[in-house]
Amino acid sequence: MRPRSALPYLCALLAMLGAGAAGAQDGGYQPPMFSYGEGRIGLYEAVRLTLAHDPNLLLQKEDVRFQQGLLEEISGTFDWVLGADASYDFREQEVRNSVVDREQQERDELSAQNLFVCGQVPVLDDKIANLLDALGGQPIVPEDFSENTDGFFQSQLRFFDEKLRLATSQAEREAILNSREVLLNRELAIARQDRDDAASFCEDSTEQLANLGSIPEFEEFATGRVSLRLSKLFRTGVFFAPFIEASYDHTQFKGKKNGFFEDRLDEDGNPIFTEFGTKLQRFVDFGGKNVEDLYKAEVGFDVNVPLLRGRGVDSTGAPEKSASVDVEASVLALRHGASVSAFNTAVAYWQLLAAQERVAVLERSVALETQLVELTDQLIAGDVLPKVERARALAGQANAQAQLEGARRDQVSARLALASAMGVAVESEANAPLAEGPFPPAPTVEAVRALDATRLAADALTLRADRESARRLVESGLILAEAARLDQRDRFDLALSMSAGALGEGSFSEAVDRWTGPAGAIALTYEKEIGNRTFRGRYDQNASLVRQRDISAGDLERNIRIGVVEALRTLEEAVARLAQAEAAAGYFQESIDAEIEKLRVGASTLIDAVVTEQQRTGADLSLVAARQQVAVLLAQLRFETGTLVEATPDGGTTLPIERLTTLPSAPAVGGGGLP
């Protein structure tokens, strides 16, 4: 069963890559300079340095980080989001003409009333004085009461005066005078009350005119708002957002302020009560708009539930699921990359070792050709061989020297190729690596034939990380294709909103003491794209991508099977050729030794010795090539069967060095795969 978490893969593999990858991070990529003792390096150490410094592996590692970052970004879509908003707006503008006219009219009316009422105070004072005089016995002139006196009082005075004139007795006269005094006292009380009311209104209106001041020319508006909102999109497609908001509204004429009510007081400073038991109040107006500042608060939440398009984890959560699978695929690709890099380094290592051994073979050939030249000179001096044979010996020596120089050039190229495969830098040929060797022992033909190619190929499909990575990409594409299929549905959303509000004037404390609610709203939104080409096209793209990935994965599986069969059969042939090459090299060594001895005693010709030496050199070179081929094919068979890099139980990876030089174990009958 494959592990679902990519993290163990990544941790173990990056630990294997080692500290050498650090150079590709903070300080920019700087390949390390190769410096390794005398320059000779073993296969295991070469592979270790490769896994630490190979740029291809470093690039794949960064691709894993990129995929993880992409997954993190997509997963962030489902994080809680805290939003805060605060704003303040202030505006000032000229007062409209209609407002100016209204304010002017108010002042004009109040001024006219003030002028009239204040003018009534002295008139009422005169009336009170006349009434007091009349009560004191002064003669009454009705015309003195004509102003601010109703006609009934004047007619009453005339009536009593006429009665007094016609009275015939003292008793009748006294009765008339008593009634007349009652009338005067009643009128005096009314006059005094009217005078107090007029004086009070005069004082109030004068104060009010002073408080109103000039007509306002400008008005100002101020609004403030603070909101705090949490929002979250769930993987089911549901959107939930609780919130709290507070706002403030203010409007006023510039330079003015709102009025207020105050209690009316009597002469002793005590509140005056109405006949209903309430305090008598008056409004003190300062010319403002008399509109209290408004404070609002609201707490609630909004919910949006998709009923068709965007509903469910398979739709909304698909990008995250797909990105998670892509991370696993990239980690598997990194693991396969480690196998590729190790294999490439092994191939380069055996190529270098073969080049070194070819140089050694050709150096021995040059030494032997030099020995033949010397022997030829001795035989010519002893008249055993003609002088013309020296040219033949020199030609053989020159040919061997030319082959040696070519081999040395090939060795330089092989040293640089190994450094390139390892991901290290070299300053010159002098500090390029040399292979320590030796070639691995070859397996027997019987051991190779014991391996079942069909079973190896079947197990390789399970063990190869690149095949598993390809199948993960198919899985990732299927997730997106299914989401695209579901998104072809129409949009049909249900929106819900619930809240409680508070409203108050003067301060927030007054507002929050007056909560109302809950209030709610529900809305349905329907949207249909005519033709629906956008979503159909998106689905076709994803379906095509899945098909492409599936074809690529199937083709990879086909090539894996072919590669296993080919590597196994080629290895079998290479092992057989190696045995033949080893036998041939041994025979030719005996032959060249015999030919040289025969040449010394004159029983053989120089041409026979030269030809035999060249055949011996060719056999040695064939032996080196056969050993190189077997070593490469052993690593290739491990690579093709997916047994080069081993997955550990915790999801990590290891690379046992023997995996590069041994056969994969034959699976037991009915067994469960390769070790």
Question: What domains can you pick out in the chain, each with its CATH number?
Answer: 7-77+324-660 (1.20.1600.10), 99-215 (no CATH)
Q: Tell me the mean pLDDT in the region 418-422.
A: 92
Task: Say what percent of the chain tops pLDDT 70.
Answer: 86
Please, which pLDDT band fits residue 23 given cuts at 50, 70 and 90? very low
Res 5: pLDDT: 39
- Smallest CA-to-CA distance from 148 within 175, 167, 165, 129 is with 129
316 is written with which tokens? 């909304």
Res 347: pLDDT: 95
Res 188: pLDDT: 86
Nearest-Å Rg of the Cα atoms of the chain is 57
Res 81: pLDDT: 95
Res 515: pLDDT: 87
Q: Each residue of 228-244: pLDDT tens digit? A: 999 999 999 999 999 99
Q: Which residues pair with 606 in a beta bridge?
A: none
User: What does the alpha-carbon distance between residue 502 and residue 518 come to, in Å, rounded to a whole number?
Assistant: 11
Res 22: pLDDT: 43
Q: Tell me the mean pLDDT in the region 110-127.
A: 89
User: What does the alpha-carbon distance between residue 656 and residue 651 come to, in Å, rounded to a whole number?
Assistant: 16
Main-chain dihedrals φ then ψ at residue 545, nearest 5 degrees: -60, -40
Residue found under tokens 């295991």: 44
Task: Say what percent of the chain tops pLDDT 90.
Answer: 48
Residue found under tokens 């050729």: 577
Q: Tell me the mean pLDDT in the region 610-633.
A: 82
Please, which pLDDT band fits residue 477 given cuts at 50, 70 and 90? very high
Residue found under tokens 């050498």: 20
Please, which pLDDT band fits residue 639 given cuts at 50, 70 and 90? very high
Res 4: pLDDT: 38
Res 97: pLDDT: 92
Q: Each residue of 333-374: pLDDT tens digit? A: 999 999 999 999 999 999 999 999 999 888 888 887 787 777
Evaluated on CA atoms 319, 321, 322, 324, the torsion sign reads: positive
* Higher-confidence position of 564 and 672: 564
Q: Each residue of 252-287: pLDDT tens digit? A: 999 888 888 888 887 787 888 887 888 888 888 888
Res 140: pLDDT: 61
Please, which pLDDT band fits residue 441 given cuts at 50, 70 and 90? very high
* Higher-confidence position of 147 and 575: 575
Asked if pLDDT for residue 655 goes beyond 50, the answer is yes
Q: Which DSSP category does 237 fall into? A: S
Res 651: pLDDT: 57
Q: Tell me the mean pLDDT in the region 169-196.
A: 84
Asked if pLDDT for residue 111 goes beyond 70, the answer is yes
What mean pLDDT is reported for the chain? 84
* Higher-confidence position of 584 and 144: 584
Please, which pLDDT band fits residue 594 given cuts at 50, 70 and 90? low
Asked if pLDDT for residue 174 goes beyond 60, the answer is yes
Asked if pLDDT for residue 635 goes beyond 50, the answer is yes
3-state secondary structure 136-201: CCCCCCHHHHCCCCCHHHHHHHHHHHHHHHHCCCHHHHHHHHHHHHHHHHHHHHHHHHHHHHHHHH
Please, which pLDDT band fits residue 127 given cuts at 50, 70 and 90? confident
User: What does the alpha-carbon distance between residue 51 and residue 187 come to, in Å, rounded to a whole number?
Assistant: 121
CB 504 within 8 A of CB 510: yes
Asked if pLDDT for residue 245 goes beyond 90, the answer is yes
Tell me which of 49-53, 301-305, 575-579, 611-615 is least confident: 611-615
What is the helix (H) or strand (E) element at residue 344, kind and residue range? helix 318-381
Tell me which of 37-41, 242-246, 574-578, 645-649 is least confident: 645-649
Asked if pLDDT for residue 67 goes beyond 50, the answer is yes
Tell me which of 422-426, 474-478, 539-543, 626-630 is least confident: 422-426
Tell me which of 68-77, 528-537, 605-614 is least confident: 605-614
Please, which pLDDT band fits residue 542 given cuts at 50, 70 and 90? very high
